[in-house]
Amino acid sequence: MKTYVTVADSRSETTPDAGQPALLALRSHPETIRDKSPARKPQKKKWLQWALMLIRRSHLYFGILLMPWALLYGISGYLFNHPTHFQDSNLRAFGPGLVQGTFLEGGLDARRSAEEVVGALNTRFGETRGISLDAASPPSFASDFIFASAETERETIQLLLYRDGSGGTLRTTKKAASSEAKPEAARFDIAPPGANRPPNRGRNGASGEQPAATKPANTESKKTSEETSEGPFKSPLHIPSIDPNRLLETVTRIAAKLDPQLAEKTFRVTSAPDLQMRLVDENTSWNSRYNPITGAVSSKLTSAEAGALPTWRRFLTRLHTAHGYPLDWNARWVWAIIVDVMAFVMVFWGISGLIMWWQIKRTRPMGTVALVISLTLAIVVGSGMLQGMR
């Protein structure tokens, strides 16, 4: 015979011998039922659930809306970082073999060039007070490239040389049918015709009009700047280690090696890396730049005012446009790696966002609307930008 016992509105089947003691124990200690029962998790508040859902959906739809721009930034960032990849012009790269036997063989030496600049400045402006290099700030070049170009009726020829003598590129491209306060200048600043220079010379300097245009002076001339009618502040300063005429000769020789027909073209060196150095004159420190093409020397005070850090907006915009791998290992080289990683991540984010969206069926209708709006807006804005670039 079986006995049925009801405890807390529940029915359990027990044997007479085993059930009675257990029943008495439960009745005398009802809290044991509550203690051993699993605790229920408290339900989240409705407003919190709504907020989390809003965050997830906003993340999803913003990703879809920004997908074209994510792809654009990723691809353009990669192209910024690798100027020679996916070229729309005829580009030819070459190594140090073509540079051998030229003026650039072995590369340019910033220290040697800076010492030559200081020596020439002391000869011209030294008088009784000597100008010297600041040992705490080693000289360096402002960029890694030397550019030269030649023009024909139908195309533009551009020759790029790396300043370390490791080679360069030859590019052939078909031709398509605010005023700010001038900073104080050092007394030894040189502004040849065609070079930019602040009009007020500041400390112990003379003032003059903004020059117009010039060509590199022949450094083999025996006539000193003091003997010219231009005077020491306008006569170009050229040094043997970065002689613009020898750079032009190097460009011509390399172009002829690349293509014999280029030997007949007239090249001109349009730019070379500025030499950056810190100079000390009369206990005053200057951040100076020497332009080997124009022979100009420009300086800014090494002070809190002249050397102030850029604003956060300018800092961020300059980070956005910083690209390319420099020849020297420094923070900018690491930044170039980050740009490559970011380019990949942004492209992956755009594609994976579409895949994640498609997995959630209930979001497909609204996601489709967002995707259509995004693509339509991208096409319209892109077309407008294309028209503005013509």
pLDDT at 12 > cutoff 60: no
- Indicate the pairing of strand 268-271 with strand 132-133: unpaired
- Across the range 104-114, mean pLDDT stands at 91
Report residue 60 CA to chain centroid gap.
30
Q: Where are the domains of the chain?
A: 58-82+324-382, 87-307
3-state secondary structure of 86: coil
Q: b or e along 239-276 (b: 16 or more beta carbons within 10 Å of the residue's beta carbon)?
A: bebbbbebbbebbbbbbebbeeebeebebebebbbbbb
Residues sharing a CB contact under 8 Å with residue 270, sequence separation 6 or more, in sequence order: 147, 148, 149, 293
Whole-number Å distance between alpha carbons of 370 and 356: 15
The 3-state secondary structure of 316-336 reads HHHHHHCCCCCCCCCHHHHHH
pLDDT value, residue 33: 52
- Across the range 44-64, mean pLDDT stands at 75
Residue given tokens 């709006």 in the structure block: 373
Q: Name the pTM for this structure.
A: 0.59
- Across the range 21-45, mean pLDDT stands at 57
Mean pLDDT check: name the lowest of 165-169, 235-239, 310-314, 323-327. 310-314
pLDDT at 15 > cutoff 90: no
pLDDT tens track for 158-203: 899 999 999 998 988 887 664 445 557 788 999 888 765 444 444 4
pLDDT at 204 > cutoff 50: no
- Dihedral over Cα of 180, 185, 189, 190: its sign: positive
pLDDT value, residue 300: 87
- Across the range 43-53, mean pLDDT stands at 75
CB count within 10 Å of CB 60 equals 18
CB-based burial label for 72 (10 Å; 0-12, 13-18, 19+): middle
pLDDT value, residue 111: 92
